[in-house]
């Protein structure tokens, strides 16, 4: 793979040499297989943090993977940051992916705040295993999946694991646009896209228990 080092290096946001990652990744050192390491790490990130899309912070200091480790609730971009940083620390190249999606189950409350059906800058991660990039989405934990009536996304290290298009007869997640992949979190682009889709969030202050939004 060309530019492998670019997808292994630490960045200001993917700060995997922070001391908090020492304990967080310790349990995965016993696995000799990179595939086994990343599968188990994916499960940890997916289920450790309760998925919470109601408290969004686009500021670089809040997006730092080490900062996310201090919380027990996180949205998809934050969880992706932890996963990508940890994968790199484990020696597995990782890059960031983003898309615009429309979620068809259990988002009525969120849509009231966003004033749109589109969820902009949904985050996922691609890791490089066995000479190919494989996508995975450690966003929805088991608890939120149970409440939504969909099975949690599993990751086998070989096949793309994106959100289910259908759960039974119900459409779950629809991908509308892909932004592509990035070696680091494109904070400015994310800020610009959210301002384009959700201008009202930038016009008022949003900081209460039910919903908060902070930007650059």
Query: What is the mean predicted confidence (pLDDT) over 86-108?
Result: 89
- Taking 80 as the threshold, does the pLDDT of residue 106 lie above it? no
Written as six digits, the tokens of 29 are: 């050192």
Residue 151 has what DSSP assignment? P
What confidence category does residue 168 fall into, taking pLDDT thresholds of 50, 70 and 90? low
Burial of 31 (0-12, 13-18, 19+ CB in 10 A): middle
- Write down the H helix ranges in the chain: 20-25, 34-48, 60-63, 65-68, 76-89, 108-114, 142-148, 187-197, 199-203
- Taking 90 as the threshold, does the pLDDT of residue 180 lie above it? yes
The pTM of the full predicted model, rounded to 2 decimals, is 0.95
Please enumerate in sequence order all residues whose Cβ is within 8 A of that of 97, keeping only pairs 6 or more positions apart, or say none: 123, 124, 125, 126, 135, 178, 179, 180, 181, 182
Q: What is the pLDDT of residue 2?
A: 65
- Taking 70 as the threshold, does the pLDDT of residue 195 lie above it? yes
What confidence category does residue 108 fall into, taking pLDDT thresholds of 50, 70 and 90? confident
- Taking 90 as the threshold, does the pLDDT of residue 103 lie above it? no
């Amino acid at each position: 793979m060309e530019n492998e080092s670019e997808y292994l290096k630490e960045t200001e946001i993917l700060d995997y040499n922070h001391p908090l990652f020492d304990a967080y990744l310790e349990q995965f050192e016993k696995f000799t297989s990179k595939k086994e390491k990343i599968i188990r790490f994916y499960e940890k990130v997916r289920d450790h943090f309760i998925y919470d899309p109601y408290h969004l912070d686009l500021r670089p200091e809040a997006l730092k993977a080490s900062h996310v480790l201090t919380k027990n609730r996180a949205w998809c971009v934050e969880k992706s940051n932890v996963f990508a940083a940890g994968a790199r620390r484990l020696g597995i190249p990782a890059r960031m992916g983003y898309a615009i999606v429309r979620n068809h189950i259990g988002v009525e409350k969120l849509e009231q705040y966003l004033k749109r059906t589109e969820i902009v800058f949904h985050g996922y991660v691609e890791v490089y295993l066995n000479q190919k990039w494989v996508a995975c989405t450690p966003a929805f934990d088991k608890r939120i999946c149970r409440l939504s009536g969909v099975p949690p996304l599993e990751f086998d290290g070989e096949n793309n694991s994106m959100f289910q298009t259908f759960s039974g007869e119900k459409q779950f997640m629809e991908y509308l646009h892909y932004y592509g992949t990035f070696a680091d979190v494109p904070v400015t682009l994310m800020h610009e896209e959210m301002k384009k889709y959700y201008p009202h969030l930038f016009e008022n202050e949003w900081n209460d228990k039910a919903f908060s939004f902070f930007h650059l």
